[in-house]
């Protein structure tokens, strides 16, 4: 599985006080699927690299809340 978003189904107890979230989603970073960093990766400009938090384009992963996206 090399998708950036994974899901799992947590245990839902019979006496939980809150309404249950039946499926939880979490994000995995792209560097988990890369192994060693290959040579000559494409790079962002220095200004974009500071904004995005990484110099290399394949390692960039824009974060958004999967729960907010599901509401759209």
Confidence of residue 70 (pLDDT cuts 50, 70, 90): low
Res 43: pLDDT:
93
Which residues contact residue 5 at a Cβ distance below 8 angstroms, ignoring those fewer than 6 apart?
25, 26, 27, 28, 66
Res 5: pLDDT:
81
Residues 59-68 pLDDT 10s: 888 776 666 6
Residues 16-54 pLDDT 10s: 898 998 998 888 888 888 888 888 989 999 999 999 888
- Answer for the pair 63, 30: CB distance below 8 angstroms, yes or no: no
Q: How far is CA 11 from CA 24, 29, 57, 70, in A?
A: 11, 25, 37, 22
Spatial separation of the C-alpha atoms in residues 26 and 15, rounded to whole Å: 25
Domain residue ranges in the chain: 5-71
7 bridge partner residues = 25
């Amino acid at each position: 599985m090399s998708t950036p978003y994974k899901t799992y189904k947590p245990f839902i107890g019979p006496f939980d006080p809150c309404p249950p979230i039946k499926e939880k989603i979490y994000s995995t970073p792209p560097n988990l699927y890369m192994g060693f960093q290959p040579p000559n990766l494409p790079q962002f400009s220095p200004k974009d690299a500071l904004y995005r938090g990484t110099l290399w384009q394949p390692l960039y992963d824009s974060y958004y809340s999967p729960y907010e996206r599901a509401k759209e």
